[in-house]
């Protein structure tokens, strides 16, 4: 819980920051930290640690949800043929043909794993 609160305290732009560290009903819970609000409960721990909790890092949240993002298209044309049935020259010429359709793109190669 301490790590969560430290991260939250160091990032004031988080919407939960004000709810935890500037609660609306602080006076109602001030005398009862054991049943009070998270920020009030953690306050003595921060004081005992003597940590400087100024913003240590800023996080830019993406403008879109990553699960809605479609990845780049992958061209698998060369994977349609078995390597042991076609000569290497066939693959080289097919690759050059595919690459000529995408002259403004950069090629990426992997070892297939």
Mean pLDDT of the chain, nearest integer: 77
Helix axes 38-49, 2-9, angle to 10 degrees: 90
**What is the model's pLDDT at position 54?**
58
Tell me whether residue 69 is in a domain: no
Tell me whether residue 15 is in a domain: yes
| pLDDT at position 39 over 90 | no
Tell me whether residue 92 is in a domain: no
Tell me whether residue 79 is in a domain: no
Q: Which of these, 59, 58, 43, lies nearest to 6 by C-alpha position? A: 43
Tell me whether residue 25 is in a domain: yes
Number of separate domains in the chain? 1
* DSSP-derived secondary structure for 1-48: -HHHHHHHHT-TTSHHHHHHHS-TTHHHHTT-GGGS-HHHHHHHHHHH
| pLDDT at position 93 over 90 | yes
Tell me whether residue 11 is in a domain: yes
**What is the model's pLDDT at position 1?**
72
> Which tokens in the block code for residue 48?
């005992």
pLDDT band (50, 70, 90) for residue 8:
confident
The answer to whether the CB of 20 falls within 8 A of the CB of 37 is yes
| pLDDT at position 56 over 70 | no
- For range 66-95, the mean pLDDT: 85
Number of residues that make up the chain = 113
Task: Record the pTM.
Answer: 0.37
Tell me whether residue 31 is in a domain: yes
Tell me whether residue 34 is in a domain: yes
State the residue range of the domain holding 6: 2-49
pLDDT band (50, 70, 90) for residue 109:
confident
């Amino acid at each position: 819980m301490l790590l969560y609160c430290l991260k939250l305290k160091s990032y004031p732009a988080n919407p939960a920051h004000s709810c935890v560290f500037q609660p609306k009903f602080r006076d109602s819970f001030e005398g009862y930290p054991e049943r009070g609000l998270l920020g009030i409960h953690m306050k003595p721990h921060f004081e005992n640690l003597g940590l400087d909790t100024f913003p240590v890092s800023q996080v830019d949240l993406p403008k879109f949800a990553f699960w809605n993002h479609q990845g780049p298209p992958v061209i698998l044309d060369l994977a349609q043929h078995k390597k042991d049935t076609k000569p290497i020259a066939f693959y080289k010429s097919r690759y050059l043909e595919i690459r000529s359709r995408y002259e403004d793109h950069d090629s990426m190669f992997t070892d297939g794993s």
